[in-house]
Amino acid sequence: MPRYSAFAVVKNALTGHTRWREQWPDAQPKKEYDVIIVGAGGHGLGAAYYLAKEHGITNVAVIDKGWLGGGNTGRNTTIIRSNYLYDESAKLYDHALDLWDGLSQELNYNVMFSRRGVMMLAHNVHDVQSFQRHVHSNRLNGVDNRWLSAEEAKAFCPPLNISPDARYPVMGAALQMRAGTARHDAVAWGYARAAAARGVDIIQNCPVIAIRRGPDGAVTGVDTAKGFIGAKKVAVSAAGHTSVVMESAGVRMPLESFPLQALVSEPVKPVFPCVVMSNTVHAYISQSDKGELVIGSGTDQYTSYSQRGGLPLIEHTVAAICEIFPIFNRMRMLRKWGGIVDVTPDRSAIIGKTPVKNLFVNCGWGTGGFKATPGAAHTLAHTVATGEPHPINAPFTLDRFRTGRLIDEAAAAAVAH
Amino acid sequence: MSQFRIPGKGRVDHAKTVRFAFDNREYTGLRGDTVASALLAHGVHLMGRSFKYHRPRGPVTADSAEPNALIGTSRGPGRFEPNTRATVQELREGLICESQNRLGALSFDFGAVNDALYPLFPAGFYYKTFMWPRSFWDKLYEPVIRRAAGLGRAPSEVDPDTYASRYLHADLLVVGAGPSGLMAALEAARAGVRVTLVDENAEMGGALLSDPGVEIDGRPAWDWLDATLAELASLGVRLMTRTTAIGYYHQNMIGLCQKLTDHLDEIADNAPRERMWRVRATRVVLAQGALEKPLVFHGNDRPGVMLAGAAQTYLHRYGVKVGTRAVIVTSHDSAYHAAFDLAAAGTRIVAIVETRAAPPETLRAEARVRGIELLAGHTVTGTRGRLRVASVTVNPVQGGRVGEPRMIHCDCLLMSGGWTPSLHLFSHTKGSLQWDAESNTFLPGRMTENCHIAGAGRGLWGFEAALTDGAKAGADAARALGNEAKAAPLSVAHDRPGTGESHRELPTDRRSSRVRAFIDFQNDVTAKDIRLAVREGMRSIEHVKRYTTNGMATDQGKMSNINGLMIAADAVGKAPPEVGLTTFRPPYTPTTFGAFAGYHRGATFEVTRRTPIDPWAEANGAVFEPVSLWRRAWYFPKGGEDMEAAVARECRATRASVGIFDASTLGKIEVAGPDAVEFMNRMYTNPWTKLAPGRCRYGVLLGEDGYIRDDGVIGRLSDELFHVTTTTGGAPRVLNMMEDYLQTEWPDLDVWLTSTTEQWATVALNGPNARKVLEGLVEGVDLSAEAMPHMSVAECRVAGFPARLFRLSFTGELGFEINVPARHGLALWEALMEAGRPHDITPYGTETMHVLRAEKGFIIVGQDTDGTVAPEDAGLGWAIGKKKPDFVGKRSLARPDLVAPGRKQLVGLLTEDGGVKLEEGAQIVLDPDQPLPMKMVGHVTSSYHSATLGRSIAMALIEGGHDMEGRDVYLPMPDGTHRARITSTAFYDPDGSRLKL
Amino acid sequence: MLLIHCPYCDETLPELEFAYAGEAHIARPEDPSTMSDEEWRDFLFIRSNPKGPHFERWRHVHGCARFFNAVRDTVSDRFLLTYKAGEPRPDLASLEAAQ
């Protein structure tokens, strides 16, 4: 893999940039692989990379029905944070954050991980209690997160409206300084390039029709649009499409797929420094390096694979942003798009083994999978390679829905009284 | 009058001048001008700088697809907006404009150093660089990149304008009022269809406005247009200009954004700036026309280089010549007409550079007649001029070989690469696109919604074709709606049909490394960038787009998508449809946030629910807190008290005498019917069969997963009637859950559910003197402890109002909750205040309520439970009807993890130092000396200073807490570790003797 | 925004009046206490989540407040049918043939 650097760019400028090589080959399937990963998003490509790098397993194919990175990896609002409440979640996301830290250098691909801080706004007493619980729990878990008064929040993010007369006044905020954003496409491309350099085949435009199992019940490979491809192990990392793929192996999942919409504004010069999230009014915002305001919304109410989404939700989201940042009222929306997110009953992911021998799954990331990309990929690779979960993903089993040992971050933020 | 404005020409009002400023220089234009046309009338082409290289740029279009001429516009405080298209913004008196994305002056931009260094900034260079040294990314590289990026500056003040929104139902919505749209609307309206016709421009007519020489049915185009608009109006068609169809949503819902004031000199008070329409149309005709494609050649981005169709529009609509010496470069017939019209208006057409070897003979002849040099089979290989094109280099092409260059001086270069149908809204529907290899363009394929596409939007060219097709679409739509319709025939004279050929980059004799042929003007994406992306393995147009940012500028690819695709497909070596076309996404053009937000702003962002007693609380100085959608009185400070002092006083007064509390926000549901008790038995954990009418019970509601969802006191008013109370925030969820089970699981049960939250105002009286206050006001019930013991309910009259009177207590004191019809709530409150005066009755808010209940160890669902807490965990095992065979959530309580040891359980917590009040959410450990990450065993759920007890109290969820009473635990806080002892949660009056008064 | 036909009101109305209520035809077991942990998990959490026709529940919450069932294609979001709660699960093949 020729190294990328400023020097390489200068050198190639002399030859009119005609000598750059392809970042990954568009592979055709071999007859058999040690491991097939279904889904060439950041998670799947990352898992292939770590399989090759950390476990020496290079006879690996990543198969996707479309182009790599074309699913939720390329459709999210790129927020990265780890200030989760439960130990299990905090450890998983913080593991990811550790990997994010050096990812550009590790992959030799600038994924533009920007530690600009993620600020979560509290709008009522219940939010304050809940976020302070997060802050205290994070502190003792060694996870960066601190509490800001409304005035401190505004000092950090000047356009914020902290008027006590607001419909949802800001009563304070939790700030994780180490958190931030990254360039989503670059994550998929960087992993793809680094994995391909280690011998991984990336097979695009090859829908998986079914997972095939042998007489002993164990996985034998996948039937695809390009024919049967044998595999000793299969890992499904197909986000919104996981239920459908797993069903073909006879595994029914505790998942539902919902449309999730996001939007960007026209680009403007830097106007606020960080990521701001408000769960109460359901709006998330950051400013991309290109200058666009990147805004995330909640999911639509019904399950869907249409990637369409409705207007009312977008209207609500934009209204919420203008509530928090009244100066953005005259900004303009440039484009809006939808993704398909797979949601588990406890809103936490599933990474691990399945009832089928040699079949593994990584799914259920809901609206927050991007931030976990390196962590999910790393622990999935470990699980596939060794046949047993890494201690970090061990709690995120499929079996927890039987035992009741849920990791319910959403419920922990439940509102009542 | 400048030399570029033609007196009397165009649709502008030459009698009305309008003053405006651009970059602090005063200009005048005419009523009807856009900023771009007015500046062009002064010979000003330079209006902006590009995103990456800061290259000087002028308008390339005359419409909403404009990528270059973006300006900041303002009209006084708070009314500034960046990135406005100068080609769309209508002139208004006093309009202030500024150019964007420049360091220094627009004519001398220091940022243009990037342009000189362009070889260092190919597509995606930032993915390969800025990685070393690692620490520089946060501190240096990214801040520099961020400052360099962005176009205009963001608004910095709160927007004083308002925005409106409306719903509209239409039989037929026609999008686009060019020839096709007009005819579609006309035919449908004539057939009796209720039609709405919208157009994004200030006036209707579309391409007709730029081609007045056409004759339709024997009338000049503009006369025909006037007559047609008059007929549409007379037929009752709703005509909406300045109205952009921004998105096509499910089942023919179209979002329209209508601009109302940006073009006005003065804004009337309270006039909304824009209005968002949500239109539900039975049928839709999309007549969005076509977009002209730029040609791709070295230097195609210089100010003065623009689309031929745009020049034609500036000429005919605005009476503006875009230059005095024009060169045309084209691969399509349409540009000839622009050339001929400009020539007629006095612009010298120096040459028509025709990429085709053999353009139609009729056009050749017309050029000859006008003395215009026609260079067929030629290419453009470059332009010169620093801030304005000054010359163009043209070369003959023969057999693929580019011949000797020739330089031609000019002050504008008008290009046309043909036309591509505008299929944006169709694309929103997820309708499929089909590649038409002959015209090298995408045409609409399979429809998913009830729509028709007409005219240039489906690849037709020429006025007759567009008008006829529009008429057919209108008639088709009318028939689909059940009306009889037949499209009348039309005759068109002086039509300008035409054809052309498609190009990727024009042939050139330049070394490829020296060619800078722009595709996405705003984002500075060149043809070379596209080819580089493909070379690097980006084989899908989605990858190419994301890698190069082609099509991601504020025109959303209107100028660049097709050219980018053609070149990418060539580089990949596949047909364009195999490389794909990126999906067009809403909105069609950038749309103001305020228009989406509409009325949902400030106090009306979301409804605020207020109780009937809220006005009293406000008048008496209450501080409020938001609780779900309600605002509730938090505390009632007196004489400068802070919250702590007020709450302490309210608590003491309640325990010592009597306190009064507005509990109206509590959810209330009536469960009525012969099977009401059976229904209650199935829903709630508690047994209800033996609860006698007139008595109450504390009920616990689980989800089917076994976790606590809600709680509240439930009174049985009769055998068949329960008055259920829920938490404030939980009322809608609980009712929904009850309805779900009743309607879908147990439809056999004869039960009715009614939400009565807002029917009753609820006032709680608590304290040893509560009965004394109430006694004198109650009729029809004996309040004595014997007749009305704790946890009983009666129907009676209080203060003359019909009431449901509960004796219950959430404070541990003698307590009553009086429910009266909401309209009497305030009067009841005032009567109680009056009756309580001898007892120093004290109003208290939610904070005091919280403290008083915590002193008794009563939980608040959502604070002391968090959705993972089962009844046993919360110490509510006693509320489970052990003998009941089933209730919602019962089976889940037997799941392995719910019976496993070590579950978090609710306990009391007393700090070693009673002066220390723990923080809610503080985490609990057994060993305070362990290193991070610490093993946490629980957290504080509630914590208060108790004035009654003279010390702090807290509740906490702790692993195995019920077996740990008496043990010490630790709370490591940033300012030191606190020690606390686990206790019972009943801190005050554990025997409940005070309830027995 | 979807348009939804309420089988009780017999009117087609905008989605804003309705609340989605999850997959349909998952009946609560007669006697949960007899169910294994696996069976109970399936009832609580396992969902078919198909790409294509989906049997699902809606509630006309800002109308008649009734729960009803629907068949909707999750790829196109198009409703194939709505029907009253308690009515049998319609046959998909004949439903698609009728479209």
Nearest CA in chain A to B590: A334
Q: Is the pLDDT of residue B722 over 50?
A: yes
Banded model confidence at residue B106, pLDDT cuts 50, 70, 90: very high
pTM, two decimals, is 0.96
- The closest CB to that of A415, out of B122, B729, B892, belongs to B729
Contacts of C86 in chain B (CB under 8 A): 744, 747
Q: What is the pLDDT of residues A56-66, one digit of tens each?
A: 999 999 999 99
pLDDT at A85 over 90: no
Residue B254, strand partner residues = B248, B279
Q: Is residue C69 part of a domain?
A: yes
Residue listed under structure tokens 């309206």: B189
Closest CA to A238 of A208, A265, A213: A208
DSSP code, position B517 = B
Answer whether C47 touches A (CB < 8 Å): yes
Top-level class of domain A6-75+184-254+346-412? alpha beta
By Cβ distance, the residue of C31, C32, C76 closest to B448 is C76
Q: Chain C within 8 Å of A254 (Cβ-Cβ)?
A: yes
Residue B622 confidence (pLDDT) above 80: yes
Inter-CA distances, A393 with A204, B680, C41, Å: 28, 41, 21
Distance CA A370, CA B706 (A): 32
In this complex, which chains have at least 3 CB pairs below 8 Å with chain A? B, C
Looking at chain A, which residue has its C-alpha nearest residue C50?
A: A244
Give me the mean pLDDT over the A83-111 stretch: 95
B154–A316 CB contact, under 8 Å:
no
Neighbours of chain C (3+ CB pairs under 8 A): A, B
Select the residue of A243, A255, A311 nearest C1 (Cβ to Cβ).
A311
DSSP per residue, B814-869: SEEEEEEEGGGHHHHHHHHHHHHGGGT-EEE-HHHHHHHHHHHT---TTTT--SS-
Calculate mean pLDDT across residues B952-970: 97
B837: which 2 tokens?
């005066």
Range of the domain at C56: 19-27+41-99
Size of interface A-C (CB pairs under 8 A): 67
Task: Indicate whether B756 pLDDT > 50.
Answer: yes
Residue B986 pLDDT: 95
Position B1 pLDDT exceeds 70: no
Model confidence at A412: pLDDT above 70: no
User: Is C30 an 8 Å CB contact of chain A?
Assistant: no
CB A271 within 8 A of CB A306: no
Average pLDDT over every residue of B454-460: 96
Residue A411 — pLDDT band, cuts 50, 70, 90? low
Interface residue B845 vs chain A (CB under 8 A): no
Question: Residue A309 — pLDDT band, cuts 50, 70, 90?
Answer: confident
CB contact under 8 A, A257 and C49: yes
Mean pLDDT taken over chain B: 96
* Inter-chain residue contact B886 with C33, CB threshold 8 Å: yes
Q: Say which of C31, C61, C67 has its CB closest to residue B744.
A: C67
Task: Please tell me which of the candidates C28, C32, C77 has its beta carbon nearest to residue B250.
Answer: C77
What pLDDT digit, counting tens, does each position of B32-80 carry?
Answer: 999 999 999 999 999 999 999 999 999 999 999 999 999 999 999 999 9
- Band the pLDDT of A414: cuts 50, 70, 90: very low
The percentage of chain B sitting over the pLDDT mark of 70, rounded to a whole number, equals 100
Instruction: Give the mean pLDDT of A372-396.
Output: 98
Please write the tens of the pLDDT for every residue from A124-136: 988 998 899 999 9
Query: Which chain C residues are Cβ-neighbours of A302 within 8 angstroms?
Result: 2, 20, 56, 72, 77
Chain B residues lying within 8 Å of A310, measured CB to CB: 249-250
Distance from C-alpha of B848 to C-alpha of B663, rounded to nearest angstrom = 13
**The pLDDT of residue B875 is above 90:** yes
Q: State the average pLDDT over residues B893-905.
A: 96
Cα(A55)–Cα(B404) distance, rounded to whole angstroms? 61
**A83 vs C: CB within 8 A:** no
Rg for chain C, CA atoms, rounded: 15
Q: How far apart are alpha carbons B763 and B620 in whole angstroms?
A: 16
Domain-located, residue C14: no
Give the pLDDT confidence score for residue A410 in this predicted structure. Answer: 73
| CA distance linking residue A175 with residue A121, whole number of Å | 9
Domain residue ranges of chain A, discontinuous segments joined by +? 6-75+184-254+346-412, 118-177+256-343
Q: Span A118-177+256-343: which CATH code?
A: 3.30.9.10
Residues A257-267 have a mean pLDDT of 96
pLDDT at position B874 over 90: yes
Assign C96 a pLDDT band (cuts: 50, 70, 90): confident
Asked if A38 and A207 touch (Cβ cutoff 8 Å), the reply is no
Q: Could you give the angle at which helices B221-234 and B179-190 cross, rounded to 10 degrees?
A: 40
Exposed/middle/buried for residue B264 (C-beta within 10 Å: 0-12, 13-18, 19+): middle
Residue B127 to residue A189, Cβ atoms within 8 A: yes
As a whole number of Å, the CA-based R_g of chain A is 21
Cα–Cα dist B309/B316, whole Å: 11
pLDDT digits (tens, 9 = 90+) for B172-223: 999 999 999 999 999 999 999 999 999 999 999 999 999 999 999 999 999 9
pLDDT above 80 (res A53)? yes
Please indicate whether, in this complex, the C-beta atoms of C3 and B251 are within 8 angstroms of each other: yes
Q: Which residues pair with B925 in a beta bridge?
A: B936, B970
The DSSP code sequence of B270-317 is: T--SEEEEEEEEEEEEE---EEEPPPB-BTTTSTTEEEHHHHHHHHHH
* Tokens at B900, concatenated: 């496993």
CA distances from C8 to A148, B735, C60, C64, C67 (A): 51, 20, 9, 8, 9
CB-based contact C54 A402, cutoff 8 Å: no
Cβ neighbours of A254 in C, within 8 Å: 41, 45-47
A253 in contact with C at a CB cutoff of 8 Å?
yes
Q: Kindly state whether residue C78 falls inside one of the protein's structural domains.
A: yes
Q: What amino acid is encoded at B422 in this protein?
A: S
Of the candidate ranges A175-189, B487-501, B710-724, C32-46, the one whose mean pLDDT is the lowest: B487-501
Is the reported ipTM for this assembly greater than 0.90? yes
Average pLDDT, chain C: 95
Q: Is the dihedral of CA B900, B904, B908, B909 positive or negative?
A: positive
Q: Is residue C79 part of a domain?
A: yes
Q: How many CB pairs under 8 A join A and B?
A: 355
Residue in C28, C31, C40 nearest the CB of B745: C28
- For residues A232-246, give the mean pLDDT: 97
Mean pLDDT of B142-159: 93
* Residue B320 bridge partners (DSSP): B5
Higher pLDDT, B646 or B486: B646
What's the rounded Cα separation, in Å, for the pair A32 and A36? 9
Q: Please indicate if any CB of chain C lies within 8 Å of the CB of A209.
A: no
* Least confident window among B575-584, B762-771, B801-810: B575-584
Of A253, A254, A303, the CB nearest to C54: A303
Mean pLDDT (whole number) for B890-906: 96
Q: How many domains does chain C have?
A: 1
Q: Does B729 touch chain A (CB under 8 A)?
A: yes
* CA distance linking residue B312 with residue B337, whole number of Å: 8
| Cβ contact B867–A408 (<8 Å) | yes
Q: Smallest Cβ distance to B158: which of A289, A327, A404? A: A327
Q: Cα-flanking dihedrals φ and ψ of residue B512, to 5°?
A: -60, -30
| DSSP reduced 3-state for B891 | helix
Q: Does C47 reside within a domain?
A: yes
Chosen for mutation from B167, B251, B890 (greatest number of chain C CBs closer than 10 Å) is B251
Q: Is the pLDDT of residue A415 over 50?
A: no
Tell which phi-psi region holds residue A288, choosing left (phi > 0), alpha (psi between -120 and 50) or beta.
beta
Q: Which residues contact B882 (CB under 8 A, 6 or more apart)?
A: none
In the predicted model, is pLDDT for residue A416 greater than 60? no
Predicted confidence band at A413 (pLDDT cuts at 50, 70, 90)?
A: low
Structural contact between residues B582 and A319, judged by C-beta atoms closer than 8 angstroms: no
pLDDT of residue A408: 87
Q: Are the beta carbons of C59 and B740 separated by less than 8 Å?
A: yes
Under 8 Å between Cβ of B588 and B199: no
Distance from chain centroid for Cα B110: 36
Could you give the percent of chain C with pLDDT greater than 90?
91
The answer to whether residues C35 and B891 touch, using CB atoms and an 8 Å cutoff, is yes
| Tens-digit pLDDT profile for residues B328-353 | 999 999 999 999 999 999 999 999 99
Q: Distance between CA C95 and CA C99 in Å, rounded?
A: 7
The CATH number that applies at residue C53 is 3.30.2270.10
